[in-house]
């Protein structure tokens, strides 16, 4: 591997502040790097000067074959609960943090390679990634970003020209991931499990500085950190739920302390509304089902809180537990507030009342809508969107989704009452502004990834990417992208961990 003359203005705050939290590892060179996709708009957001980045250089840099001269690749250490079982050492088994850049808004962002070869944390794995999962992460991250949901994003996807051995040989790829940081609940767990309290404290201080500087003003900084992380997760999960996103593998090592969505493995967008919806092939018990996500996030946050207990006053640990518990108890109310306000906005009603928290009959309107979607097995995305057409007098898109017209009628009467004086066209446009028409439909994602992976044909991927990057803007020529998958597809659909 070569060192390049190019610089990406990397900084290394993580490596400098937390010297015991990683291993220095060089990426494994790949045979024949070729660019699959580059995120020009993200590059510009990051302030990356692309003048030096020639078309020959880009695949070399973002495969790890050539390192920017200011890169300092490290594999980060972490632990984690996987499906509820604690694994004391996980860590970056196939990822390397190259460095951090300060973006155009002054925010520090990690730039990391994923699929760049083995590290001391690889355990039995090959350290590699395949084209399909790499492009899936790229696509889903961009879709979530376009929906306004905090997420890591892909800067580049590069094919390696080498096969990776899975159930069958697959073409290999490297993803370049951009994150607010890669510190996870599992990073705290690693040191807490080893009773290295001073390491936990250093990590907490680092996280406060990087993600929650306002916490420095608080009397008890660590308690305030817990509160902030809890709030951000509550908001994040509410946002997922509002768009029907199922993460699929909410292990504690896949929960970022920053509050970004991270690690798009066996994730999927729900089609027919069903709280029990699960797509992951390994999630037999439905631990990470759509409707279980708030409870699981809280479970993960409880694991995070446990790591902070020694920092919350060790002479009186009962008090620490009580304080931490009180904060964890704010998760569900915060989640519900965000969820109901979001749902109220999706119903187009935010104009009718400045939402702070909804009263009982308002919450019931939301709950009963979901009950109707469930009993009628309605497509979650289309149902909300069709409310806009209905508001404008075009009733058929909504009505055609429901078998139980009487139930729908009754609910619509209540919805109409809450609208008060809102002008119908304004109602429709506010509904369309917050309810996507285009989500990454599972059958289209699979179709695009298969074409890219099997035939090296990126045209479907690029078309789908550009559609999900504008989820709210209707274009009649794109009707096929708004349609749900055939029922038979969804009934058999499984996503895999992408390893
Ligand atoms: P993930 O399912 O991607 O969140 O990964 C869980 C853990 O397994 C992390 O420690 C990863 O680094 C590790 N891992 C996943 N896939 C591989 C692989 N192909 N080679 C080495 N480690 C891996
Ligand atoms: Mg992970």
**448-to-139, 243, 405, 460 alpha-carbon distances in Å:** 10, 21, 36, 5
pLDDT for residue 436: 98
pLDDT for residue 5: 82
Residue 431: both structure tokens together? 């509904």
Percent of the chain scoring above 70 in pLDDT:
98
d(CA 11, CA 99): 6
**475-to-9, 398, 481 alpha-carbon distances in Å:** 40, 19, 10
Among protein residues, the one whose CA lies closest to atom 16 of ligand 1: 499
Q: Which atom of ligand 1 is nearest to the CA of 497?
A: 2
pLDDT for residue 495: 80
**Rounded to a whole number, what is the largest CA-CA distance in the chain?**
69
Indicate whether 39 and 160 sit together in one domain: yes
Indicate whether 135 and 14 sit together in one domain: yes
Evaluate if residue 380 carries a pLDDT over 70: yes
Indicate whether 125 and 227 sit together in one domain: no
pLDDT for residue 499: 57
Indicate whether 235 and 365 sit together in one domain: yes
pLDDT for residue 251: 98
Evaluate if residue 78 carries a pLDDT over 60: yes
Indicate whether 275 and 334 sit together in one domain: yes
Evaluate if residue 314 carries a pLDDT over 70: no
Is 200 part of a structural domain of the chain? no
Indicate whether 346 and 236 sit together in one domain: yes
CA-atom Rg of the chain in angstroms: 23
Indicate whether 264 and 339 sit together in one domain: yes
Evaluate if residue 89 carries a pLDDT over 60: yes
The band of 96, judged by pLDDT with boundaries at 50, 70 and 90, is very high
Pick from 128, 150, 179: which residue ends a domain? 179
Q: Compute, in angstroms, the gap from residue 383 CA to the centroid of ligand 1.
A: 37
| Ligand 1 pocket member 265 (CB < 6 A) | yes
Would strands 66-67 and 2-3 be described as parallel, antiparallel, or unpaired?
A: parallel
Q: Compute, in angstroms, the gap from residue 64 CA to the centroid of ligand 1.
A: 18
Among protein residues, the one whose CA lies closest to atom 23 of ligand 1: 93
Evaluate if residue 56 carries a pLDDT over 90: yes
pLDDT for residue 110: 98
Is 189 part of a structural domain of the chain? no
Is 276 part of a structural domain of the chain? yes
| Ligand 1 pocket member 128 (CB < 6 A) | yes
Indicate whether 140 and 49 sit together in one domain: yes
Indicate whether 223 and 91 sit together in one domain: no
Mean pLDDT over the full length of the chain: 95
Catalytic residue among 110, 235, 253, 323: 253
Q: How many structural domains compose the chain?
A: 2
pLDDT for residue 274: 97
Vertex 374 angle, CA 478 and 465, to 5°: 25
Q: What is the mean pLDDT of residues 413-433?
A: 96
CA torsion angle for 212, 213, 216, 221 (degrees, to 10)?
20
* Torsions phi, psi for 289 (to 5 deg): -60, 155
d(CA 166, CA 136): 17
Q: Across 121-280, where does the E strand assignment appear? A: 129-130, 153-165, 169-179, 245-246, 268-269
Is 484 part of a structural domain of the chain? yes
Q: Compute, in angstroms, the gap from residue 248 CA to the centroid of ligand 2.
A: 11
Buried b (16+ CB within 10 A) or exposed e, 341-370: bbbbbbbbbbbbeebeebeeebbebbeebe
**Cβ(180)–Cβ(107) under 8 Å?**
yes
| Ligand 1 pocket member 263 (CB < 6 A) | yes
Among protein residues, the one whose CA lies closest to atom 14 of ligand 1: 93
Burial of 21 (0-12, 13-18, 19+ CB in 10 A): buried
Pick from 127, 159, 179: which residue ends a domain? 179
Residue given tokens 């996103």 in the structure block: 245
**334-to-228, 245, 357, 370, 427 alpha-carbon distances in Å:** 11, 19, 10, 20, 27
Q: Compute, in angstroms, the gap from residue 322 CA to the centroid of ligand 2.
A: 31
The band of 497, judged by pLDDT with boundaries at 50, 70 and 90, is low
Indicate whether 65 and 164 sit together in one domain: yes
The band of 498, judged by pLDDT with boundaries at 50, 70 and 90, is low
User: Which residue segment(s) compose the domain that 125 sits in?
Assistant: 2-179
The band of 20, judged by pLDDT with boundaries at 50, 70 and 90, is very high
Please tell me what DSSP assigns to residue 142. Answer: H
**Cβ(114)–Cβ(177) under 8 Å?**
yes
pLDDT for residue 313: 80
> 84: phi > 0 → left, psi -120 to 50 → alpha, else beta; which?
left
Indicate whether 170 and 233 sit together in one domain: no
Q: What is the mean pLDDT of residues 154-179?
A: 97
Q: Compute, in angstroms, the gap from residue 165 CA to the centroid of ligand 1.
A: 14
Q: Among 151-160, 198-207, 310-319, 476-485, whose mean pLDDT is lowest?
A: 310-319
Is 248 part of a structural domain of the chain? yes
**Cβ(69)–Cβ(7) under 8 Å?**
yes
- State the pTM of this model: 0.97
**Cβ(229)–Cβ(298) under 8 Å?**
no
| Ligand 1 pocket member 122 (CB < 6 A) | yes
**Cβ(33)–Cβ(158) under 8 Å?**
yes
Is 203 part of a structural domain of the chain? no
Burial of 495 (0-12, 13-18, 19+ CB in 10 A): buried
Evaluate if residue 4 carries a pLDDT over 80: no
pLDDT for residue 316: 64
Is 198 part of a structural domain of the chain? no
Q: Among 130-134, 183-187, 316-320, 374-378, whose mean pLDDT is lowest?
A: 316-320
| Ligand 1 pocket member 313 (CB < 6 A) | no
pLDDT for residue 384: 98
* Start-to-end C-alpha separation, the chain: 24
Q: Compute, in angstroms, the gap from residue 298 CA to the centroid of ligand 1.
A: 24
Pick from 157, 179, 201: which residue ends a domain? 179
| Ligand 1 pocket member 89 (CB < 6 A) | no
Evaluate if residue 1 carries a pLDDT over 70: no
pLDDT for residue 355: 64
* Torsions phi, psi for 341 (to 5 deg): -65, -40
Q: What is the mean pLDDT of residues 211-229?
A: 97
Q: Which atom of ligand 1 is nearest to the CA of 90?
A: 10
Is 286 part of a structural domain of the chain? yes
pLDDT for residue 49: 80
d(CA 12, CA 15): 5
| Ligand 1 pocket member 114 (CB < 6 A) | no
d(CA 467, CA 215): 39
Evaluate if residue 354 carries a pLDDT over 70: no
d(CA 285, CA 301): 21
Number of the ligand closest to the Cα of 79? 1
The band of 475, judged by pLDDT with boundaries at 50, 70 and 90, is very high
d(CA 23, CA 13): 15
Q: Is 253 a catalytic residue?
A: yes
Indicate whether 175 and 224 sit together in one domain: no
**Cβ(484)–Cβ(271) under 8 Å?**
yes
Question: How many beta carbons lie within 10 A of that of residue 73, not counting itself?
Answer: 24
Half-sphere exposure of 425 (CA within 13 A, CB side): 0
Q: Among 14-28, 153-167, 272-286, 367-381, whose mean pLDDT is lowest?
A: 272-286
Q: What is the mean pLDDT of residues 277-289?
A: 92
| Ligand 1 pocket member 137 (CB < 6 A) | no
């Amino acid at each position: 591997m070569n060192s390049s003359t190019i610089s990406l203005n990397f900084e290394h705050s993580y490596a400098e502040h937390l010297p015991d939290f990683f291993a220095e590892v060089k990426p494994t060179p790949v045979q024949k790097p070729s660019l699959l996709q580059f995120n020009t708009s993200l590059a510009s957001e990051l302030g990356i000067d692309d003048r030096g980045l020639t078309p020959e250089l880009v695949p070399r840099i973002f495969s790890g074959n050539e390192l920017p001269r200011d890169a300092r690749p490290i594999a980060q250490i972490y632990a984690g609960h996987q499906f509820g079982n604690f694994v004391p050492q996980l860590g970056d088994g196939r990822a390397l943090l190259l460095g951090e850049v300060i973006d155009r808004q002054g925010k520090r962002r990690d730039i990391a390679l994923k699929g760049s070869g083995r590290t001391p944390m690889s355990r039995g794995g090959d350290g590699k990634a395949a084209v399909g999962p790499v492009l899936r992460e790229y696509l889903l991250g961009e879709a979530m970003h376009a929906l306004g949901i905090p997420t890591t994003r892909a800067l580049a996807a590069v094919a390696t020209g080498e096969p990776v051995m899975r159930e069958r040989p697959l073409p290999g790829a490297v993803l370049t991931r951009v994150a607010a940081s890669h510190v996870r609940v599992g990073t705290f767990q690693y040191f807490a499990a080893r009773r290295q309290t001073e390491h936990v404290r250093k990590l907490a201080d680092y996280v406060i500085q990087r993600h929650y500087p306002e916490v420095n003003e608080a009397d008890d900084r660590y308690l305030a950190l817990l509160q902030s992380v809890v709030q951000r997760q509550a908001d994040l999960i509410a946002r997922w739920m509002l768009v029907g996103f199922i993460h699929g593998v909410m292990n504690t090592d896949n929960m970022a302390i920053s509050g970004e969505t991270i690690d798009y493995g066996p994730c999927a967008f729900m089609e027919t509304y069903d709280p029990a919806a699960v797509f992951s092939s390994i999630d037999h018990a439905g631990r990470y089902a759509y409707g279980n996500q708030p409870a699981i996030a809280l479970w993960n946050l409880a694991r995070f809180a446990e790591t902070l207990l020694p920092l919350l006053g060790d002479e009186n640990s009962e008090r620490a537990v009580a304080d931490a518990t009180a904060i964890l108890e704010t998760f569900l109310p915060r989640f519900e507030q965000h969820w109901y306000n979001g749902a109220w906005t999706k119903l187009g009603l935010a104009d009718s009342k400045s939402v702070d928290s909804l009263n009982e009959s308002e919450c019931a309107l939301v709950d009963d809508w979901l009950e109707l979607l469930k009993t009628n097995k309605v497509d979650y995305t289309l149902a909300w969107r069709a409310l806009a057409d209905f508001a404008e007098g075009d009733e058929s898109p909504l009505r055609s989704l429901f078998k139980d017209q009487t139930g729908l009628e009754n609910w619509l009467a209540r919805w109409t009452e809450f609208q008060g004086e809102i002008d119908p066209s304004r109602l429709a446009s506010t509904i369309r502004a917050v309810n996507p028409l285009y989500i990454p439909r599972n059958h289209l994602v699979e179709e695009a990834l298969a074409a890219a992976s099997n035939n090296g044909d990126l045209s479907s991927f690029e078309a789908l990417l550009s559609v999900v990057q504008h989820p709210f803007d209707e274009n009649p020529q794109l009707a096929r992208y708004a349609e749900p998958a055939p029922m038979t597809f969804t009934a058999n659909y499984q996503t895999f961990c992408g390893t």
